[in-house]
């Protein structure tokens, strides 16, 4: 039995009103808590027969993302179909600064095609109000394609959703955010499938040891691990196992970032030549 929601009634009423504008919808299911919450609400408001759910699997979704999809699939009110998309070609393989825009455009174009095939007009994604405060270049692609974000438009935050799902017994790991594995590589570093897989496996290895949220970033010849500063002792306690596992993935250097977990680690603007000369 679901615990009563503690979301403000005005927000849940607004969300349901937004959903009722459509007879049928397609929900892009990332495997995260927000898109799961949206999927469940859409099915409750419109009826399961009026909602299609599709997860787009790409080379940038690793073992951790697959575990999230499998976990929420079991709790979802209707089947989630998988759509495979190979994005390791063309400009995306070269990893340009607009990679997120390019990736989202390809993913949601594919979802729009599926929606047309099913006779569905409205395609929804699980973006929340919290996402507006972050660097989200892919948002422009979704706006251009007319993708709807009812959670955001209803004023619902990721923290509110996490709180609701935690009261229902959703395990802590599945309440943390997960991002595309391309973000583990600095812009301009060519993306290779084997490197992406290796980094995804290390993140999953650490998550299974109870160390999350975290990011495993690519460095030449190895990785730089970002985690909350309170988890550094836990990482050091795993030193031998972690080194052995990483080297088994072909990663020779294993470093810890003393600055802790950072979002958008590669997104700081480049310094001008004047700033470099003055040291500012």
In SS3 terms, the chain reads as CCCCCCCCHHHHHHHHHHHCCCCCEEEECCCCHHHHHHHHHHHHHHCHHHEEEEEEECCCCCHHHHHHHHHHHHHCCCCCEEEECCCCCHHHHHCCCCHHHHHHHHHHHHHHHHHHHHCCCEEECCCCHHHHHCCCCHHHHHHHHCCECHHHHCCCCHHHHHHHHHHCCCCHHHHCCCCCHHHHCCCCCCCCHHHHHHHHHHHHHHHHCCCCCEEEEEECCEEEEEECHHHHHHHHHCHHHHHHHHHHCCCCEEEECCCCCCCCCCCCCCCCHHHHHHCC
Peptide bond into 256 cis (omega under 30): no
Q: Along the 280 residues of the chain, how does pLDDT read in single tens digits?
A: 577 778 889 999 999 999 999 999 999 999 999 999 999 999 999 999 999 999 999 999 988 888 999 999 999 989 999 999 999 988 999 999 999 999 999 999 999 999 999 999 999 999 999 987 666 788 899 999 999 999 999 999 999 999 999 999 999 999 998 789 999 999 999 999 999 999 999 999 999 999 999 999 999 999 999 999 899 999 999 999 999 999 999 999 999 999 998 876 667 655 444 434 433 3
Nearest to 125 by CA among 242, 231, 42: 42
pLDDT value for 56:
96
pLDDT of residue 134: 67
d(CA 194, CA 59): 10
CA-CA distances (angstroms) from residue 187 to 58, 191, 254?
19, 10, 21
Please state whether the predicted TM-score (pTM) of the whole model is above 0.85.
yes
First to last CA, the chain: 57
In this structure, what is the dihedral angle of CA atoms 201, 55, 2, 173, given to the nearest 10 degrees? 20
Q: Any idea what the Cα angle at residue 258 is, between residues 261 and 189, rounded to 5°? A: 65
Q: What is the pLDDT of residue 85?
A: 95
State both tokens at 6.
Answer: 């503690």
Task: Give CA–CA dist 180/164, Å, rounded.
Answer: 25
Tokens of 132: 């507006």
* 88 burial level (CB within 10 Å; 0-12, 13-18, 19+): middle
Opening angle at CA 170, ends 166 and 176, nearest 5 = 80
Q: Tell me the domain boundaries of the chain.
A: 9-173, 192-256
Tokens, residue 45: 């408001």
Residue 267 has a pLDDT of: 72
Do the beta carbons of residue 51 and residue 27 sit within 8 Å? yes
Which class would CATH give 9-173?
A: alpha beta
């Amino acid at each position: 039995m679901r615990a009563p929601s503690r979301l403000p009634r005005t927000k849940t009423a607004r969300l349901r009103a937004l959903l009722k504008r459509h007879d049928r919808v397609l929900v892009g299911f990332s495997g995260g808590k927000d898109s799961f919450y949206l999927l469940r609400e859409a099915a409750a408001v419109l009826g399961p027969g009026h909602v299609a759910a599709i997860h787009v699997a790409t080379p940038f979704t690793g073992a951790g993302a697959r575990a999230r999809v499998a976990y929420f699939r079991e709790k979802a009110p209707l089947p989630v179909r998988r759509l495979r998309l190979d994005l390791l070609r063309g400009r995306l393989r070269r990893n340009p600064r607009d990679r997120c825009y390019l990736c989202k455009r390809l993913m949601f174009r594919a979802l729009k095609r599926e929606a047309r095939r099913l006779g569905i007009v409205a395609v929804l994604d699980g973006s929340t109000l919290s996402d507006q405060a972050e660097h989200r270049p892919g948002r422009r692609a979704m706006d251009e394609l007319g993708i709807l974000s009812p959670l955001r438009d209803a004023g619902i935050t990721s923290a509110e959703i996490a709180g609701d799902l935690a009261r229902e017994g959703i395990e802590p790991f599945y309440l943390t955010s997960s991002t595309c594995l391309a973000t583990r590589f600095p812009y301009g570093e060519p993306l290779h499938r084997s490197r992406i897989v290796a980094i995804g496996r290390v993140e999953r290895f650490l998550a299974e040891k109870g160390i999350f949220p975290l990011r495993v970033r690519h460095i030449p010849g190895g990785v730089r691990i970002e985690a909350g500063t309170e988890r550094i002792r836990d990482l050091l306690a795993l030193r031998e196992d972690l080194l052995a596992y990483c080297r088994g993935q072909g990663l020779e250097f294993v470093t810890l970032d003393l600055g802790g977990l950072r979002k958008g680690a590669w997104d700081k603007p480049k310094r001008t030549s004047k700033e470099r000369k003055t040291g500012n």
